[in-house]
Structure 1
């Protein structure tokens, strides 16, 4: 007899099944029937939770956004170290620590990272076709990452006594665009040594957008 789960738990179970299927065979392999079979439930249960594939993929996108947000918070939250991390040198140290903390999370989940790009592309295609629900996936993914990166950069400047020379939200977008490119290239060639050098270069480029904060006049 099928265990009766609360609706939220059942939805979460089906979303994880869908993501597992997508990681193995891409978004095109995600169907209501495949998810039902993978989760060991009837078609009716999946239809009760999600009335279409678009709704299911939208829920997958939301789940990935939450996972990305949690990963970024963990990586960035662990960036501040001990000792003097003031000034531009300290800024570079904290930036490097944040990116270095983030990379093992990415490296350990290549299939999930690839799925992130696939869901983004799927959402953009659905948006072009007029499907608003799925079309909002890509925007939500990037808005969430923008918010997390902006908060990290603002806190890093405050902590190190530096000031950004451009709007911090714009720098966050630039930072994430660089990281996106690094991750996508790594998914192609899996060259971890190159990533280390690229992250170092990214830190230098980002730090160039900051200056020492002027002391407050007494």
Structure 2
């Protein structure tokens, strides 16, 4: 007999089931029937929790945003807890620690990283077709990353006695756009040594946008 889970737990279970399917076969392989079979529940259970594939994919996007936010928060928090110098040298050190601390998390989950790009593209295509719910996915993903990055940059500057010479939101957007490209390129060629050099270059560029107080 099927265990009766609270609604939130059942939705989370189905989202994880859908993400497992998508990691193996892409968003096109996610269907209500496939999710039901993978989760070991009836079609009715999936339809009760999600009235369409778009709603399910939107929930997948939300889950990935939460996971990404937690990973960024962990990496950035770890960097700021380390002993650092002050001034621009200290800023460079804390930026390097925070940005490179993200990499093992990314490298350990290549299929999930690829899935974030797929969901973003899917959401944008659905938005262009008039599906407002799907269009929210990409916006939410980037707004969450922006907020985490801005907080990290502001705290890093305060911690090292430096200040930014440009709006922090612009610097965060630039840094995340570069990281986005680095991750996508790595998914293609898996050149981890190249990634480390590229992240070092990014840290140098970002540090160049700050001055000592």
Shorter chain as denominator, the TM-score bin is over 0.9
1:99-138 counterparts in 2 under 5 A?
Answer: 99-138=99-138
Does 2:168 match 1:168?
yes
The CA RMSD over aligned residues, in Å, is: 0.7
Measure the CA separation in 1 of the matches of 2:133 and 2:67: 20
* TM-score normalised by structure 1 residue count: 0.96
Quote the residue 1:87 is aligned against. Answer: 87
Query: What displacement does 1:82 show?
Result: 4.5
The answer for unaligned runs of 5 or more in structure 1 is 214-218
Q: Is the 8 A contact 1:57 1:134 kept in 2?
A: yes
* TM-score normalised by structure 2 residue count: 0.99
Q: For 2:85, what is the secondary structure of its paired residue?
A: coil
The answer for unaligned runs of 5 or more in structure 2 is none
The total of aligned residue pairs comes to 213
Q: Is the 8 A contact 1:81 1:94 kept in 2?
A: no
Query: Deviation digits for residues 3-42 of structure 1, max 9, x if unmatched?
Result: 0000000000000000000000000000000000000000
Measure the CA separation in 2 of the matches of 1:154 and 1:186: 28
Query: What displacement does 1:83 show?
Result: 4.1
Query: Deviation digits for residues 35-86 of structure 1, max 9, x if unmatched?
Result: 0000000000000000000000000000000000000000000002544421
Quote the residue 1:216 is aligned against. Answer: none
Change beyond 3 A, Cα 1:82–1:68: closer
